[in-house]
Structure 1
Amino acid sequence: MHDDSRKGIGGNATWRPVTLLVLAICGITVVADGYDVVVYGAVIPSLLHEPGWGLTPAGAGLIGSVALVGMLMGATTVGTLTDTLGRRRMLIGCLIWFSVMTGLCAIAPTPEVFGAFRFLAGLGLGGVLPTATALAGEYSHPKTRNLVFAIVFSGFPVGGILAALSGMLVIPRSGWQPMFLLGLVPLLLVVPLAVRYLPESIVFLQAKGRYAEARKTADRWNIPLDDAQEEAAASAEARSGLDSGGMSSVKALFSHSYIAATLCFLAMTCLCLFMIYGLNTWLPEIMRRAGYSSGSALAFLLVFNIGAVVGTIVISLAADRLGSKPIIVTTYLLASVSVILLSLRLPTGMLYLAVALGGVGAMGTQTFVLAYVSKHYPVRMGATAMGWTLGFGRIGSMLAPPVLGLIIGAGWAFQWNFYALAIPGVMGAVLIGLVPRAPGTESSGGHGQAGGTVRSLVEPT
């Protein structure tokens, strides 16, 4: 019995069919998330010239920040509710909400109404990523969790690729409005799949004492589950000394055992999202002002996101072997160096390479920070930790659009935008070294269990 309980739910299988199913649905959901965020950067040049709107770069940056305020509120609120109400229900609800609000942006008659719809979309959008990553992580094997997070989070740049391609094809012919109508596609295609096939997290059900539901889900997907594992989950929850309410999870994040790591994760995500949203929002306009055509400027956004997808998945294979810290330091510094290179007058081929490496560095960092967070906290705090990490990180994403918008509006040389984007990478590389070991683990890589709580579908032997 002791050996079985240490293995955790599901024995030694690394890639079960249910893992692939959850990974696919969560990944597609994050694609929709990425499209919705990046589409704004793709349409900014058009919005600045929309008749009757009189939108300035500073005003466009403010609208971008308003949407991100909604994401901050959504991430912290939904992340906490997810640890109370369940991953599946909240993920589907957020997907429906932000798809509808994104579609309504297409009929906005004024910048103010447009900004209001972007804010409302942000409420749902902010809850998607912490919920999807928590669910995918709980159905993954610890030995492949960095890869799982890389695949899920690569949905974000895939969405960016679709937004950039759509912008290149749609905007010259039909204007910016159809770009937001495409945001309704998840409502029609992804939501029905999620309602029918997406399972609730078994470890979440166990952590909440809902053992009958956990067994029913395990039986449906042919996952071995015995009484010893149920007892282990219950005793681990009792040892944590925390009740199952959402607020107790929030308090635990800032308890003596976790506060140092929590503050580091919050700051690191803030710095990383400053780079990601700054580049995704303003890269086309910055490159256009640097002398490139509108089509070429959108191509830079496309290359940025392609680099993020390919590079992040490749690096994740090393992260599962080397641990989180050295990989995060590397990706932070890679992002900073690449952004500095963009400020130089390089040959076109080298410029595209720098943009691609910038995507690897910025997006890769966020992926591996989230994977690190998922391994550092007990499962009962998982979605709350994700929500607060991403929610606080939205402060960085909120600051990036107006800060860069002010730099552009002030008429400074385009290089200053890249200098502003490079500094956070250096700061983040320093912060990762300050993250302490998770309570109850012997490895700083965070592979152990914090607080003894069952953490994923399959635990290492």
Structure 2
Amino acid sequence: MAPTPSRSASTRTVALLCWIAVVLDGFDLVVLGALIPTLTGGETPWMSPAEATFVSTISLVGMTIGALSIGVATDWLGRRKAMIWAVLAFSVLTLACGFATNYVQLGLFRFLAGFGLGGCLPTAIAMVTEFSRGKAGKASTSVMTGYHVGAVATALLGLLLLPLFGWRAMFFVGAVPGLILAPLMLKYLPESPSFLLAKGRRSDAEALAAEYGLELAAPAATEAKASLGSLFRHPFLRNSIAIWVTSFMGLLLVYALNTWLPKLMVAAGYGLTGGLWLLLLLNAGAICGLLVAGRVGDRIGLKPAALLWFLCGAVLLAALSVKMPATLLYPMVFLTGCFVFSAQVLVYAFTAANHPPAVRATALGMSAGVGRLGAITGPLLGGTLVSMGIGHPWGFYVFSVVGLLGAVALSLTQVFRQKA
């Protein structure tokens, strides 16, 4: 039986702080998409479409490097300090974006901000998993609602701020939450018990576990030395490759649809306004899907739930290739967001729950990092299909196949039983 938590310590505080950090990731998901029409439009554009593509791509490269290197950072600093520094770095550099005088400076600031931002997501999931008291699926998917809450809020924020204050205000306002969050984390976010165990501080880990009502794994299972190399050896190698392929496919779909859904809907004859509303509906569906997916994952298993979500997403994506009335289209897009966008989060939850604490952050960082390569590929793939004039219906067929490939890759994983 897990210890009873003290009144002063709440796992909900950990979840809330991590959720706000993930909201920042959601901000990054759509902020450039919201600003590019303004930055590239008008009689004297601030930058060209090609320059905007460079800025968008280089920021994703920075996030990829940040996600891939977070395991090393957490081994060195601990999850608490790594999380705080990641949030602080991202916020300061986002503020700097508002002072950029040309696209090169904007690209540089976005690239460096990506280092911190890319590390937030895997660390946040690792933290909430460790403090979830055995409900990894619900904890991981709940915290990931912040991703799409941030995306929707940023799109709405753009509608309010851009006409009144211009594009720089978006970066200034986007930096504020992180600058407030970092000192709050410094005061209220605890260290990871597994990090304390890895450093030989079992008494501190036990005290923290008692304070938060957590159950520690046995010393032999948790304090063993783990590193990036562990993911390339038995028993994790097979799972590592399968998870990386699945994450690549999952984030390819998320970023391709968030970038190109309005254009694909316009090509299908639905109109620009309809396309933008469908984008918001897609992300609204993602929030609802995440709340349901975690509970389903805890009930039937994270792997079966993720497989079901990928398969349903693939079917719905194929169905969107068919022209349909709005009364049917809107619920179809909502359901597509429910399944496609939360499928990847179930993969993160499965990765977190299926690796021992000592290697969990590294496994999540690699999953997110390789997934970011899919995030770069998705918009490029969508843009290629649109430029060839076959975005609709063939774009949806291609994305459906991507979903099926994600399901196939995930089906090859093995399930290990781990302590949270």
Q: TM-score, normalised by structure 2?
A: 0.91
SS in 2 for 1:346: coil
Show the counterpart of 1:236. Answer: 221
Larger mean CA deviation between 128-137 and 78-87 belongs to 78-87
2:325 pairs with one of 328, 337, 347: 347
Q: How does 1:416-455 map to 2 (within 5 A)?
A: 416-438=394-416, 448-449=417-418, 455=419
Show the counterpart of 2:208. Answer: 217
Matched, 1:273 2:248: no
- Using the alignment, how far apart are the partners of 1:79 and 1:369 within structure 2? 18
Task: Using the TM superposition, give the Cα deviation of residue 364 of structure 1 relative to its aligned residue in structure 2, in angstroms.
Answer: 1.2
Matched, 1:184 2:175: yes
CA contact (8 A) 1:374 1:382 kept: yes
Larger mean CA deviation between 300-309 and 264-273 belongs to 300-309
Show the counterpart of 1:152. Answer: 143
- Using the alignment, how far apart are the partners of 1:175 and 1:349 within structure 2? 36
Unaligned 5+ segments in structure 2 are none
- Using the alignment, how far apart are the partners of 1:310 and 1:203 within structure 2? 31
Show the counterpart of 1:322. Answer: 300
Task: Using the TM superposition, give the Cα deviation of residue 414 of structure 1 relative to its aligned residue in structure 2, in angstroms.
Answer: 3.9
Instruction: Sort the Cα spacing of 1:43 and 1:362 in 2 relative to 1 into closer, same or farther, 3 A.
Output: farther
Matched, 1:55 2:48: yes
Show the counterpart of 1:4. Answer: none
Matched, 1:193 2:171: no
Task: Using the TM superposition, give the Cα deviation of residue 159 of structure 1 relative to its aligned residue in structure 2, in angstroms.
Answer: 0.6
Instruction: Sort the Cα spacing of 1:409 and 1:173 in 2 relative to 1 into closer, same or farther, 3 A.
Output: farther
Larger mean CA deviation between 33-42 and 376-385 belongs to 33-42
1:32 pairs with one of 18, 24, 28: 24
1:169 pairs with one of 160, 185, 188: 160
- Using the alignment, how far apart are the partners of 1:104 and 1:350 within structure 2? 44
- Using the alignment, how far apart are the partners of 2:170 and 2:331 within structure 1? 27
Amino acid at match of 1:101: L
Matched, 1:203 2:194: yes
CA contact (8 A) 1:32 1:156 kept: yes
CA contact (8 A) 1:27 1:155 kept: yes
1:135 pairs with one of 109, 113, 127: 127
Show the counterpart of 2:97. Answer: 105
The higher relative CO (CA closer than 8 Å, separation ≥ 6) is in: 1
- Using the alignment, how far apart are the partners of 2:140 and 2:326 within structure 1? 32
CA contact (8 A) 2:71 2:228 kept: no
Matched, 1:415 2:393: yes
Task: Using the TM superposition, give the Cα deviation of residue 99 of structure 1 relative to its aligned residue in structure 2, in angstroms.
Answer: 1.5
Could you list the per-position Cα deviations for residues 288-336 of structure 1 after superposition, in whole angstroms to 9, with x for gaps in the alignment? 5555565543322221111111122123212111112221122112222
Show the counterpart of 2:14. Answer: 22
SS in 1 for 2:227: helix
- Using the alignment, how far apart are the partners of 1:256 and 1:394 within structure 2? 25
Larger mean CA deviation between 275-284 and 291-300 belongs to 291-300
Could you list the per-position Cα deviations for residues 8-41 of structure 1 after superposition, in whole angstroms to 9, with x for gaps in the alignment? xx3377x995211111110111011111222222
Larger mean CA deviation between 207-216 and 382-391 belongs to 207-216
Could you list the per-position Cα deviations for residues 220-259 of structure 1 after superposition, in whole angstroms to 9, with x for gaps in the alignment? x36488xxx6xx6433346x4x3xxxxx511111102110
- Using the alignment, how far apart are the partners of 1:361 and 1:294 within structure 2? 24
Unaligned 5+ segments in structure 1 are 1-6, 243-247, 439-447, 450-454, 457-461
- Using the alignment, how far apart are the partners of 1:137 and 1:222 within structure 2? 13
SS in 2 for 1:281: helix
Could you list the per-position Cα deviations for residues 74-122 of structure 1 after superposition, in whole angstroms to 9, with x for gaps in the alignment? 0111233213321110111111111222222233333333222221111
Amino acid at match of 2:144: F
- Using the alignment, how far apart are the partners of 2:249 and 2:320 within structure 1? 19
Q: How does 1:400-411 map to 2 (within 5 A)?
A: 400-411=378-389
Query: Percent identity over the alignment?
Result: 37
Task: Using the TM superposition, give the Cα deviation of residue 146 of structure 1 relative to its aligned residue in structure 2, in angstroms.
Answer: 0.5
Instruction: Sort the Cα spacing of 1:201 and 1:162 in 2 relative to 1 into closer, same or farther, 3 A.
Output: same
Task: Using the TM superposition, give the Cα deviation of residue 192 of structure 1 relative to its aligned residue in structure 2, in angstroms.
Answer: 2.3
Aligned length: 418
CA contact (8 A) 1:311 1:360 kept: yes
- Using the alignment, how far apart are the partners of 1:109 and 1:283 within structure 2? 31
Show the counterpart of 2:349. Answer: 371
CA contact (8 A) 1:307 1:356 kept: yes
- Using the alignment, how far apart are the partners of 1:47 and 1:308 within structure 2? 28
Amino acid at match of 1:112: V
Task: Using the TM superposition, give the Cα deviation of residue 150 of structure 1 relative to its aligned residue in structure 2, in angstroms.
Answer: 0.9
SS in 2 for 1:420: helix
SS in 2 for 1:199: coil
Task: Using the TM superposition, give the Cα deviation of residue 400 of structure 1 relative to its aligned residue in structure 2, in angstroms.
Answer: 1.4
Larger mean CA deviation between 173-182 and 64-73 belongs to 173-182
- Using the alignment, how far apart are the partners of 1:76 and 1:405 within structure 2? 26
Larger mean CA deviation between 363-372 and 325-334 belongs to 325-334
Q: TM-score, normalised by structure 1?
A: 0.83
Show the counterpart of 2:85. Answer: 93
1:337 pairs with one of 305, 310, 315: 315
